[in-house]
Amino acid sequence: MSESYDVIIIGSGIGGVAAGALLAHSGYKTLILEKNRLVGGRCSSYEKDGFIVDLGVHLFGVGDKGSLGDICRSVGMPNAIDWVTVDQPILQVGNKTEKYSRANMMGTVPEEESGNLGRLFMEIVQISEEEIESLWYVPLKDWISRFTTHPQVHLFFNMICGQYFCVGSAEASTTEFIRCFREVLTAKSSAYPRGGCVSIPKAYLAAVEKYGGRCITRAPVKKVIVDNNAAAGVRLEDGTEFRAPLIVANADIKSTVSDLVGEEHFPSDYVDRVKALTWSLHVIGLKVALNEKITDHQLVLYRPHGDGDGSDIEDKFYQAKLPDRVGGMITAPTNYDPSLAPPGHQMIFFGTACPAKADWKKWERVLLNSFYSVYPDAKGKVLWHRLDTPGIINAFAGETGNVIGVAQTVNQIHQLRPSVVSPLKGLYFASGEAGGHGIGTELAADSARELFRVLTKK
C-alpha cells in the first residue's frame, strides 16, 4: 500500500521547499521528493578541495527583508538564515573603479543629460501605484526612452535589468523593474547567506522537518498519478508510489505538463501556451579558487568598455560575436563568509549571460581574460578554476539551462504569466515559472507564498 500525505512536492528548489515549510507549519502532512543527492535546485552548493562552491552565481536583492526572509518569519524561525548584507557595491568601467551609486551613474553622462537622468530616477521613486499598474506590458526600454535616449543611460539600465531578470530592457516589464528597483533601493539589504546558497533551502527544510514533514533525496519522480481527472499521487522511477490530494510541481513547467502528467490531461490551448513559453537567458559562471585573499570587495559590476548602448544584451549576449572581454557581476562569497574556503584562501565568482550553446573553451579564455582585467593581482595565485555552463545547470536542475525560469518579459508577466493553479484539479506550481514577483530566487519564494495563500485561503 502506498503512503499517503496531504501534499507532495516534486523538487527541492526554493519554490518547493518554501511551499513545503509554509504548508507543514500550517499542519499539512508534507512530503518533498528530490531527484538529486543535493537539495536546493539552482540555489545549491557543493564541496571542492575544501571550498564550498555555489551552483551558478548568486546574490539576493533584498535578502532578509524580502520573500526569502518572510518565509522564515511565517514559520516561526526568523533567524534560520544568517544573512550578511552587501557593504558597498563597486562599479568598474574599463579600468576606472568607483562606488556603485546613483550619483556616480549620473556622472557618466554629459552634463546636458544629467537632468533627464535625474528626472528618470525621481519618477521611479515617486510614480503612483495607479501608473505603475498601467506599465506591466510596456517594455522598460520604451519607458526609459520617454526621459532620455542617451546610450550610456540605456546601457546601465540594461545591465541592471540583465542582473535582475536575465532579459534585456527591450523585453522586460517596466512595472516589474520599477517594483524590484524600488524594493532594493528602500531595503538596502542585498545580501548573501553564511554557509553558501544551500543554507537557504536547508533552513526551509529544517522547518518542514520541525513541523512533521519529510524530504527524500535521490527520489526521481517518473509520473504524476491522475485518477478521476485529478492529480492523486506520484510514482517514482523505482516504482514506489505516494498518494496525496495536492501535488505541487517545483519542476520545469513544460516537462511537468508533457512528461510527468501528460498533455492529454490538460486543455489543448493550455498545452500550446505552455509549449510557447520562453525562458530567461542563460548565464555562465567562472569560479576561481585562490591561495590568498586579493580583494575586500564583495560585489563588483563590471563593464569592459564605457561606450555602447547595451545592444550586446539585446542580441542575446554575444551570440553574434564574442569579444576579448565581457562584462558581468563579480561576487566574492568568502568576503561574506570566510569559512567557505580554507584559512587564508579566497573564492571569486564571475557571472555573465551567454547563449544556450557555444564554444565553452573560447568562453573560458574570454572570462579568464575579463577576470584578470579586474584582478590583475590574481595572476600566479589561482589554485583552480571551473565553469558552470548552461549544460551543467541543465544536468543538475533537469531543465533547459535557464537561470530563473519563465522569463519576466512583457508577454509573460502579471496576468500573462502561468498561474500557480493548473487546469488539472489537485496540481499546482511553486517555482520561478508560475506566479510570483521579484528577482531570481526571490521570485520562486514569492511563488510559494502565492500558492500558500491560494491553498489556505489566507
Question: Could you report the per-residue pLDDT of 64-111, keeping only the tens digit for each?
Answer: 999 999 999 999 999 999 999 999 898 888 888 888 877 777 776 777
As a whole number of angstroms, the distance between CA 431 and CA 173 comes to 19
Residue 52's identity, in one-letter code, is: I
As a whole number of angstroms, the distance between CA 180 and CA 413 comes to 14
Query: What average pLDDT does the chain have?
Result: 91
Contact of 68 with 81, CB cutoff 8 Å: yes
Q: What is the mean pLDDT of the segment spanning 174-193?
A: 95
Q: Within a 10 A sphere around the Cβ of 312, how many other Cβ atoms? A: 23
Confidence band of 1 (pLDDT split at 50, 70, 90): low
Q: What would the grid cell of residue 208 be?
A: 518542514
Contact of 394 with 400, CB cutoff 8 Å: yes
Q: Please tell me the predicted confidence (pLDDT) of residue 255.
A: 93
Contact of 220 with 362, CB cutoff 8 Å: no
Q: What is the mean pLDDT of the segment spanning 397-420?
A: 87
CATH topology for the 3-43+63-73+194-278+405-456 domain: FAD/NAD(P)-binding domain (3.50.50)
Q: Please tell me the predicted confidence (pLDDT) of residue 450.
A: 98
> Considering just the CA atoms, what is the radius of gyration of the chain in Å?
22
Q: What is the pLDDT of residues 280-334, one digit of tens each?
A: 988 899 999 999 999 999 999 998 875 554 444 434 455 557 888 998 899 999 9
**E-only strand ranges, 108-261:** 191-193, 214-216, 221-227, 230-236, 241-243, 246-249
221-227 and 214-216 as β-strands: parallel, antiparallel, unpaired? unpaired
- pLDDT above 90 as % of the chain: 73
As a whole number of angstroms, the distance between CA 164 and CA 187 comes to 16
Q: What is the pLDDT of residues 365-388, one digit of tens each?
A: 999 999 999 999 999 999 999 999
As a whole number of angstroms, the distance between CA 315 and CA 56 comes to 22
As a whole number of angstroms, the distance between CA 393 and CA 164 comes to 19
What are the residue ranges spanned by the domains of the chain? 3-43+63-73+194-278+405-456, 100-187, 281-396
- Counting beta carbons within 10 angstroms of the beta carbon of residue 330, is it exposed (0 to 12), middle (13 to 18) or buried (19 or more)? buried
DSSP state of 435: S
Which residue carries 556616480 as its cell? Answer: 104
DSSP state of 350: E
DSSP state of 50: T
- pLDDT above 70 as % of the chain: 95
| Residue 442 reports pLDDT greater than 70 | yes
pTM, two decimals, is: 0.93
Residue 444's identity, in one-letter code, is: A
As a whole number of angstroms, the distance between CA 233 and CA 131 comes to 44
Q: What would the grid cell of residue 227 be?
A: 485518477
- Counting beta carbons within 10 angstroms of the beta carbon of residue 413, is it exposed (0 to 12), middle (13 to 18) or buried (19 or more)? buried
**E-only strand ranges, 102-146:** none
Q: How far is CA 124 from the centre of its chain?
A: 23
